[in-house]
């Protein structure tokens, strides 16, 4: 397992508990706390993250923003290292880089081959 650092953007096996509009089979999270004292290669270590969401709730091609609200404890969970699937990169405009989008499509092929993603991709064009 690769080391995780502050400012990394991660794809984790976690889904929002209280939002039926969110359609992706994963969430992106941002490590915004100093975790340099943790051994982030140990799959049992836990750390706090900020959940990010695409502005349309369904597409990986749109801008990702912090998910927050009155129930902010749901949007800043503690996660275990073993929940992290991959590390991705965001552009300055908070969109996934082309390389990260390709990695997401390879990691979740069944989702991105579905008709829902094809419709979304056509609408985004």
The full set of domain ranges for the chain reads 9-124
Dihedrals phi, psi of 30, to nearest 5 degrees: -115, 130
Strand partners, 27: 12
Could you tell me the pLDDT band of residue 71, with boundaries at 50, 70 and 90? low
101-117 average pLDDT score: 79
Could you tell me the pLDDT band of residue 121, with boundaries at 50, 70 and 90? very low
Strand partners, 52: 28, 66
Show contacts of 72-75: CB within 8 Å, 24+ apart: 74/16, 74/17, 74/18, 75/50, 75/51
Give yes or no for a contact between 59 and 120, defined as CB atoms under 8 angstroms apart.
Answer: yes
Could you tell me the pLDDT band of residue 15, with boundaries at 50, 70 and 90? confident
Could you tell me the pLDDT band of residue 73, with boundaries at 50, 70 and 90? low
Max Cα–Cα distance, the chain, nearest Å: 45
């Amino acid at each position: 397992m690769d080391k995780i650092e502050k400012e990394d953007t991660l794809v984790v096996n976690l889904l929002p508990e209280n939002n039926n509009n969110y359609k992706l089979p994963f969430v992106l999270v941002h490590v915004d706390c100093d975790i340099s004292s943790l051994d982030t290669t140990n799959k049992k270590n836990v750390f706090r993250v900020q959940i990010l969401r695409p502005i349309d709730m369904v597409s990986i091609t749109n801008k990702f923003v912090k998910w927050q609200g009155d129930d902010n404890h749901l949007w800043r969970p503690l996660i275990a290292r073993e929940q992290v699937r991959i590390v991705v990169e965001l552009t300055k405009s908070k969109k996934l880089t082309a390389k990260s989008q390709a990695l997401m499509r390879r990691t979740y092929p069944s989702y991105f081959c579905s008709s829902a993603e094809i419709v979304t991709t056509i609408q985004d064009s």
